[in-house]
Amino acid sequence: MSLVKLQKNISYEFKDNSLLDLAITHKSSNNSENNERLEFIGDSVLNAVISEYLFKKFPNEKEGLLTRMRSHLVKGETLVNLANKINLSEHIKLSKGTANLSEVRKHSILEGAFESLIGAVLLDSDWNQAKKFVLNLMKSEIQEIGVEVEFRDSKTELQEYLQAKKINPPKYKSRSINDGFEASITYQKKKFVAAGSSKRHAERAVAKKILDFIKS
């Protein structure tokens, strides 16, 4: 796929196209030169930009609510939706052996590539441009955010549910796997497993599985 098309989708033209190429290169395609380091930068930039935005937009709100708002905006599901809006999956470089990946693994790769794009923009330009890039891509999401919405990630929701039922809090078991982490919880003698690009994302994903099971 043409990098020109992707740059049009993200409304940003790279001065150094090698950074964009690196941002869409998954480690299954190139184990030595891939987007993992850019993902590390992009994750930090994303959290910092959203933190600053929320801090300024809601000057009277406490840290706890701001944290939940930020978690809602930067969670894996949101990033995957944003990645799909710019058709990022069409451009990611993967090895042929990844053709039959599960949806969870595909989502993890998309999350990582989206964050890598942010990191690449920072290195290609400066902080102000990276900030503008993030806020532009997330325009709809941040405009919809408001204090009247209840923001609880799946881990918090599961813990509150179990506490209300006087059940001990869940014990998460996490381990590193290819391209991310896997987390598991045993609930009602049934083992639930989920993967994510980070330990946090994996734990939230497995908590959501249990919540879906409870509500079904």
Cα–Cα nearest to 111, from 200, 43, 187: 43
What pLDDT shows up at residue 196? 80
Instruction: Give the relative orientation of helices 127-137 and 103-124 as an angle to the nearest 10 degrees.
Output: 140
| pLDDT score for 23 | 97
User: Residue 98 carries which DSSP code?
Assistant: G
Given 39, 111, 115, 153, the catalytic residue: 115
The ranges of the chain with pLDDT < 50 are none
Interatomic CA distance for residues 87 and 92, integer angstroms: 10
- The whole-number pLDDT of residue 18 equals 96
Q: Burial-class residue 135 by CB neighbours within 10 Å (0-12, 13-18, 19+).
A: middle
CA dihedral 30, 36, 37, 42 (to 10 degrees): 140
- Write phi, then psi, for 186 (nearest 5 degrees): -100, 120
Residues 141, 18 contacting (CB under 8 angstroms): no
Domains of the chain in sequence order? 3-144 (1.10.1520.10), 154-215 (3.30.160.20)
User: DSSP labels for 31-53?
Assistant: SSS-SHHHHHHHHHHHHHHHHHH
Predicted TM-score (pTM) of the model is 0.74
**Which pLDDT score is estimated for 147?**
55
- Active-site residue, 115 included: yes
Q: Check 43, 124, 179, 182 and give the catalytic one.
A: 43
* 124 is known as an active-site residue: no
